[in-house]
Amino acid sequence: MVERILLIVLPLFAVVAVGFVYARRHRPDMGAATALNMDVFVPALVFSALASRDADLAAHAPLALAGLLLVLGSGLLAWPIARAAGVAVRTFAPPMMFVNSGNMGIPLLVLAFGQQAMPAAVVLFLVENFLHFSLGTRMLDRRADLLGVLRTPVMLACLAGLTVNLSGGELPTIVALPVDMLGQVAIPLMLFTLGVRLTDVDLSDWRVGLLGTLTRPLAGVALAWLIAAALALPPDQGKILILFGALPPAVLNYVFAERYDQEPKRVASIVLLGNAGALISLPAVLMLVL
């Protein structure tokens, strides 16, 4: 069991570490690579996973609802914790709600449960990202454009993939193969980019970071377990949801905090310590679900 967990976790953190070490020495500008990933490679991954005939999307509808409840419930739990700790709710709640569902979630779930978990991982990624770009931005800026998220390449790829899947059609190999190849670029590039981005954050507010490091996996796993039981999710989906609940805060929380001037240094500490703490929390949760 220990060897299996190491084979799941270590490859993820190894790629993140390569990105971190490389960025410390060379300070690469990842703007173009990130834009390519979000505009081309991730949409290709999403489309390929959803359009596949092996993806029974109707069977993942309860999981999508569970993911929605998990994100919202994490925010509700973070509210009183932030108030008690004297931290602004808009600083503390988003990192507790919005996790590394893409950079770490998709590869982690696929490594843990096999390629058949890809549709479930993509469904949770889409739910979390839609909420982050809509509700998450509205939490930081009440004038944010909520319809803008529907025009992003990822959401357009989602709609296209759903259309192909629900129509019962099948893409010709000459189309499906290159799209699948483009999608395979997304996961390692997301992990590498995560490592690069972690070099930009600091630990000046380590106490808040430590609070977030403890709250995120404990609240997420507890909520996921309750939601899975309440919705009577199939055992495999319940395990996927619990592992999803243990994911660390998304680096995007730091990007948004900088953009909207919402205590970015504090958010940076939460993100950095949360991702470092995942070295301990994720293997522990893997032992629980496996």
Per-residue pLDDT tens over the stretch 240-289: 999 999 999 987 788 788 778 898 888 888 988 898 888 899 999 999 99
CATH number at residue 18: 1.20.1530.20
Q: How many residues does the chain have?
A: 290
Distance CA 164, CA 224 (A): 30
Distance CA 40, CA 52 (A): 18
Instruction: Please tell me the pTM assigned to this model.
Output: 0.84
Task: Give the residue with greater pLDDT, 157 vs 190.
Answer: 157
Per-residue pLDDT tens over the stretch 66-91: 999 999 999 999 999 999 999 999 99
Whether the Cβ atoms of residue 245 and residue 70 lie closer than 8 Å to each other: yes
Q: ∠ CA(245), CA(203), CA(265), 5° rounding? A: 85
Residue numbers of the domain that contains 262: 2-289
Task: Indicate the angle between helix axes 173-197 and 42-51, nearest 10 degrees.
Answer: 130
User: How many domains does the chain divide into?
Assistant: 1
Whether the Cβ atoms of residue 118 and residue 50 lie closer than 8 Å to each other: no
The rounded mean pLDDT for the chain is: 87
User: In the chain, pLDDT over 70 holds for what percent of residues?
Assistant: 95
- In the structure encoding, which two tokens stand for residue 7, read together? 């084979």
